[in-house]
Chain A
Amino acid sequence: MIRTFAPTRRQFLKLGGAAASALAVSGLAGRAFAQASQYKEAPALAEMVAAGTLPPVDQRLPENPVVIEPFESVGTYGGHLRTGIIQNRGFQARSAWGPEPILRISRDGQAVEPNLAESWEYTNDGKTFVLHLRRGIKWSDGEPFNASGFDFWWNHVNLNASLSPAPMAQFTVQGEVPTFEMVDDYTVQWTFVAPHANLPALLAHGPGGTIPRYLPRHYLEQFHADFADEADLNGRVSAAGFSTWAELFNNRSNVQWLMPFDNPDMPTLLPFKLGRAMQLNVLVADRNPYYWKVDTEGQQLPYIDDVVLTNYESGEVRDAAVAAGEMNWVNTDTTFTNLPLYREGQERGSYAVKLWLTDRAAEHTIMFNHCAKDPVLRELYNDIRFKRAFSLALDRLQIAETVYLGFAVPSQLQMIPGSKWRNEDWVARDTEYDPDTANSLLDEIGLTTRDGQGIRQRSDGKPLVLNMDLPVDDPGSLSVAELIIEFMREVGITFNVRTIAREQIRALIDNNDMEVGIWVGDKCSDAMFPHSPEWHVPYLTTGWNVWGMPWAQWYASKGQQGEEPQGDAKKVQDLFDEMQITVDEARRLEIGNEILELNINNLWNIGDVGQVPIPVILGTNFKNYPEEGFTGFSWLGNYNYHIEQTYFEGGAWSGERG
């Protein structure tokens, strides 16, 4: 509401006098005035303010801090979040204290909402994407956050060949790099060759992004060749033991694994800042005193004091530690098959095991290599009857019983429940156990001759042997693979399973040497499918799409490498292209459905069972987290549940020792 304010001289003088005396009084009142502030802070921070080592909370928070509605109840300060990772793979802990992306995924996982940016829009026929940043946010060292951080990142990191040999692919449309402009201190924009419809979702997520798209230039310029004095910089580089400034820059800006792991001096916008880098397998992140969010009662977040993260040298050791009650927040890389172990330790360990869902529409996708080098197999794998036969020969209920203790539902690799693209018919198609139809389909193809043991023979006389390679350290897929061997024997196919080290699987896929592959059927969520449909479109050369890697290579290299897909496979790539520049929601819904329909008609991926829950370990008095939820890479863990508003009832975890 706008009212024009036109005071008379007397009113103006009165107002001015009142204002002046108010200021004088406040100056005199000093500390008393500060205590009457509208925001509250953690006791530890209040002590620091009293001691004069930290500015008062009103000055640390922006003028209009983001208000977070607590999930259940307003919290109390205190407690340690204890979590663990395996073999130093830091991204597993990604949502233990972050991330804080420019835009964020909403709590229900379906929409994109403001975060560091308070709004965005498309102008210029949709070709220009404009971001309006929130004002008043400060970095963890008190310096202001504004558009210059974007300018630094775009012009001096993203486009700097020593740091990024190629500009970030998420910002390209049809392969073209956009132009960037910093309009003013709080507005930035990119101009593309066509509307970048997926950009808001990508800004909320960050696949492939090890660098957040803004950086604290006031800290990092000293490590950058464009700004620092050359002699100084070289001195710093050799003092740290590196050989190039790029290595030093990467180390100091904590680019690894999307998480601040190495450098406590690097300013951050996350609720916790690195206090002690990983030392003898333990890392600590302390509360960020400049965190820019409050709860509905004006208490500065986060409630929890710090995050203690332990690195375990192997998964089994971490599972044992979970069962011994050493952690109160674990929700990545837990093994479902260890559920009895987790449950056993619940009481003594003061934690509860929740069963959440993931972004896996099917726990595994079994993929036949449609570009297999062997011509006989190649023809078979491209025949829909063969794939349908394979799918019908799988006793999915037995897989659910044996491997997943009954917690699974037969499912093709489509979309997860709750998705706007979910189609129950497609999910269930050819998932019934019907070896008779499978046998007749295989006969129809012409695989009628069998040898002495009943194994069908190929058209060239050799026995029909399918070779599947899988990673040696994945017990889930190995169990399923072993069951498949049995199922295949029923229909006269020899199924050969080879376990190899994960590191070698990559090489096999890249050289198109893998015949049958198996992987987790993830990324089937609304948050990821539009921009990264790895299983449904052959576009990604660095993924695990055994079913069409040469097609993906052809797509990515624009015809220089790989093999051109024919028919439906090509169509699905075209649809993917269209999705990337279509902003209209109705049309996006249609495109997604078309892609998924082509997938179910071709069965490029054969799913086994879906809705397998993932054990999530949470302390018994850990509050403000949902009882049932989703966690997985689609949501970068589960950051949409706002870790910053979680707390321990009573101010500490009930399972704390000592």
Chain B
Amino acid sequence: MLNYAIRRSGQMLVTVLVISVIAFVVIQLPPGDFVNSYLATLSGGNIITQDAIIALRSQFGLDENVVVQYWRWFTNLLQGNMGISFQYQRTVIDLLGERLPLTLAITIPTAIFVYVVAIPIGIYSAVRQYSPMDYLLSFGGFIFLAIPNFLIAIVAIYVSYRYFGGSVGGLFSPEYELAPWSLGKALNMLQNMSLAILIIGTGGIAATMRVMRGMLLDELSQAYVETARAKGLSEWRLILKYPVRVAVSPVLSTIGFVLPALISGTEITATVLNIPTTGPLLLNAVRSQDMFLAASIIFVLSILTVIGTFISDLLLVWADPRIKL
């Protein structure tokens, strides 16, 4: 076990390093750099002189070659300095710190929500195959799988605006926006967040549910299930203890990806719902080539991904005794 952990750590380190290089390079691949996109956003005519552009470039360090920029960024990173966001003129750590609590407050409940709902539904669907409930759940599953999250978000916003006169997106309704914290404000936030969680979660539920159902159906037709029944085990106990453990491995092997998704998995939906999570932050950073912000977030994501996959693998070993390290 220890050997395995050491070997894995070495692999994770190499993976993270390679990802950081690739991310840094790719972010700068589109022609131009942040100064270009900064100028481009000044639609409406703010005029910057040529000298100011040269100044900006040298201020941001954009006039040096990529290797030097990367090295400087990376060494700073190891000292805990993630650099400055050109767009916001604040440190990256500041920006992430501001948005991270809210992001986690949405994505963690979403992740839990997804698994707590999807796995039992998937199991039920497989055990009661072809029952009316199964058809209903599968039908719903397909619909939510096919419709993108942001579209559901847009429809929700429209319905809320049109028929309920509700506020459009955001964490708080206008009357609570600036008010000091109170029970009413907390409830209002929970209300808006629940909508977000619901919308973000539906797609994930559908996918996981279908996978669970498919795998379990395979297992339920195996001989050992018959044997267990013959031996007198109660139906649900036997299902949960044996076939489910095997069927759940695809779900477990992808659970690792939940970790990075916790940070950035909501870009488009959060943009539509106007919730300031790290998702839109990353999206805008990449679009405007705000390279330190984008590269730092991706770096954090890659670390979380490799840790997440490691945890996945451990979970798999625990769940399925056939797998050896």
Interface residue? B110 (CB, 8 A): no
Question: Which of A311-319, A484-492, A599-607 forms part of the interface with chain B?
Answer: A311-319
Judge whether A281 and B274 touch: CB under 8 Å: yes
Given known A506-B37, A520-B43, contact A240–B30 (CB-CB < 8 A): no
Interface residue? B131 (CB, 8 A): no
User: Which chain A residue shows the least CB distance to B161?
Assistant: A324
Judge whether B37 and A310 touch: CB under 8 Å: no
Judge whether B47 and A534 touch: CB under 8 Å: yes
Judge whether A320 and B50 touch: CB under 8 Å: no
With an 8 Å Cβ cutoff, the count of chain A residues facing the other chain is 68
Given known A321-B169, A324-B168, contact A313–B270 (CB-CB < 8 A): yes
Judge whether A542 and B174 touch: CB under 8 Å: no
Judge whether A542 and B284 touch: CB under 8 Å: no
Of the candidates B43, B84, B169, B176, which one forms a contact with A317 in the assembled complex, judged by CB atoms under 8 Å apart?
Answer: B169
Give the CA-CA distance A640 to B32 in the complex, in Å: 37
Judge whether B171 and A280 touch: CB under 8 Å: yes
Interface residue? A53 (CB, 8 A): no
Judge whether A502 and B40 touch: CB under 8 Å: yes
Give the CA-CA distance A332 to B42 in the complex, in Å: 13
Of the candidates B58, B87, B170, B289, which one forms a contact with A281 in the assembled complex, judged by CB atoms under 8 Å apart?
Answer: B170
Can you list, as one digit per residue, whether each of A227-260 has a CB less than 8 Å from chain B (1) or not (0)? 0000000000000111100110011000010100
B112 to chain A, nearest CB (A): 23
Question: Which of A163-171, A438-446, A589-597 forms part of the interface with chain B?
Answer: A163-171
Of the candidates B93, B167, B177, B280, which one forms a contact with A308 in the assembled complex, judged by CB atoms under 8 Å apart?
Answer: B177
Give the CA-CA distance A647 to B187 in the complex, in Å: 33
Judge whether B173 and A207 touch: CB under 8 Å: no
Question: Which of A87-95, A362-370, A415-423 forms part of the interface with chain B?
Answer: A87-95
Residues of B within 8 A of A333 (CB): 44
Can you list, as one digit per residue, whether each of B43-85 has a CB less than 8 Å from chain A (1) or not (0)? 1111111111111001100000000000000001000010010
Give the CA-CA distance A324 to B179 in the complex, in Å: 20
Give the CA-CA distance A234 to B5 in the complex, in Å: 42
Judge whether B280 and A313 touch: CB under 8 Å: yes
User: Which chain A residue shows the least CB distance to B87?
Assistant: A88
Judge whether B271 and A504 touch: CB under 8 Å: no
Residues of B within 8 A of A140 (CB): none
Judge whether B59 and A240 touch: CB under 8 Å: no
With an 8 Å Cβ cutoff, the count of chain B residues facing the other chain is 65
Given known A506-B40, A532-B47, contact A166–B55 (CB-CB < 8 A): yes
Judge whether B32 and A251 touch: CB under 8 Å: no
Give the CA-CA distance A250 to B102 in the complex, in Å: 28
Interface residue? A208 (CB, 8 A): yes
Of the candidates A262, A284, A532, A632, which one forms a contact with B90 in the assembled complex, judged by CB atoms under 8 Å apart?
Answer: A262
Of the candidates A88, A246, A556, which one forms a contact with B50 in the assembled complex, judged by CB atoms under 8 Å apart?
Answer: A556
Residues of A within 8 A of B288 (CB): 503
Interface residue? B22 (CB, 8 A): no
Give the CA-CA distance A166 to B53 in the complex, in Å: 10
- How many contacting A-B pairs (Cβ < 8 A)? 168
Of the candidates A164, A256, A262, A323, which one forms a contact with B161 in the assembled complex, judged by CB atoms under 8 Å apart?
Answer: A323
A606 to chain B, nearest CB (A): 19
Give the CA-CA distance A520 to B270 in the complex, in Å: 31
Interface residue? B2 (CB, 8 A): no
Give the CA-CA distance A311 to B281 in the complex, in Å: 13
Interface residue? B272 (CB, 8 A): yes
Of the candidates B40, B44, B87, B167, which one forms a contact with A633 in the assembled complex, judged by CB atoms under 8 Å apart?
Answer: B44
User: Which chain B residue shows the least CB distance to A162?
Assistant: B59
Give the CA-CA distance A89 to B161 in the complex, in Å: 26
Judge whether A317 and B81 touch: CB under 8 Å: no
Interface residue? B31 (CB, 8 A): yes
User: Which chain A residue shows the least CB distance to B31?
Assistant: A507
Q: Which of A246, A508, A520, A657 has the most CB of B within 10 A?
A: A657
The residues in B between 260 and 318 inclusive whose CB is less than 8 angstroms from any CB of A are 270-274, 276, 280, 284, 287-289
Given known A241-B94, A310-B170, A658-B173, contact A503–B52 (CB-CB < 8 A): no
Judge whether B157 and A164 touch: CB under 8 Å: no
Residues of B within 8 A of A208 (CB): 46-49, 52
Judge whether A317 and B274 touch: CB under 8 Å: yes
B284 to chain A, nearest CB (A): 6
Judge whether A242 and B270 touch: CB under 8 Å: no
Residues of A within 8 A of B44 (CB): 91-92, 332-333, 522, 632-633
Q: Which of B49, B98, B289 has the most CB of A within 10 A?
A: B49
Judge whether B81 and A241 touch: CB under 8 Å: yes
Interface residue? A279 (CB, 8 A): yes
Give the CA-CA distance A134 to B280 in the complex, in Å: 46
Residues of A within 8 A of B54 (CB): 165-166
A415 to chain B, nearest CB (A): 15
Residues of B within 8 A of A166 (CB): 49, 51-52, 54-55
Give the CA-CA distance A522 to B44 in the complex, in Å: 8
B195 to chain A, nearest CB (A): 15
Judge whether B174 and A657 touch: CB under 8 Å: yes
Residues of A within 8 A of B157 (CB): 317, 320
Give the CA-CA distance A256 to B49 in the complex, in Å: 16
Judge whether B177 and A502 touch: CB under 8 Å: no
Judge whether A326 and B89 touch: CB under 8 Å: no
Residues of A within 8 A of B158 (CB): 320
Judge whether B271 and A317 touch: CB under 8 Å: yes
Judge whether B84 and A324 touch: CB under 8 Å: no
User: Which chain B residue shows the least CB distance to A278?
Assistant: B88
User: Which chain B residue shows the least CB distance to A240?
Assistant: B91
Of the candidates A87, A348, A540, which one forms a contact with B165 in the assembled complex, judged by CB atoms under 8 Å apart?
Answer: A348
Residues of B within 8 A of A326 (CB): 167-168, 174
Interface residue? B41 (CB, 8 A): yes
Give the CA-CA distance A542 to B36 in the complex, in Å: 10
Interface residue? A501 (CB, 8 A): yes
Of the candidates A280, A281, A542, A657, which one forms a contact with B39 in the assembled complex, judged by CB atoms under 8 Å apart?
Answer: A542
A80 to chain B, nearest CB (A): 9
Give the CA-CA distance A313 to B287 in the complex, in Å: 13
User: Which chain B residue shows the least CB distance to A244?
Assistant: B59
User: Which chain B residue shows the least CB distance to A540?
Assistant: B47
Listed in ascending order, the chain B residues whose CB lies under 8 Å from chain A are: 30-32, 36-37, 39-55, 58-59, 76, 81, 84, 87-91, 93-94, 98-99, 102, 157-158, 161, 165-171, 173-179, 270-274, 276, 280, 284, 287-289
Contact sample, A vs B, 13 pairs, CB 8 Å cutoff:
A166-B51, A241-B91, A262-B90, A280-B171, A313-B272, A317-B169, A320-B161, A324-B166, A326-B167, A541-B50, A633-B46, A657-B174, A658-B179
Known: A281-B274, A317-B169, A323-B161. 12 other contacts (CB 8 A): A166-B51, A240-B91, A282-B177, A313-B270, A317-B157, A320-B157, A502-B41, A508-B31, A522-B44, A540-B47, A633-B44, A657-B174
Q: Which 4 A-B pairs have the closest CB atoms?
A: A658-B175, A166-B51, A165-B55, A503-B37
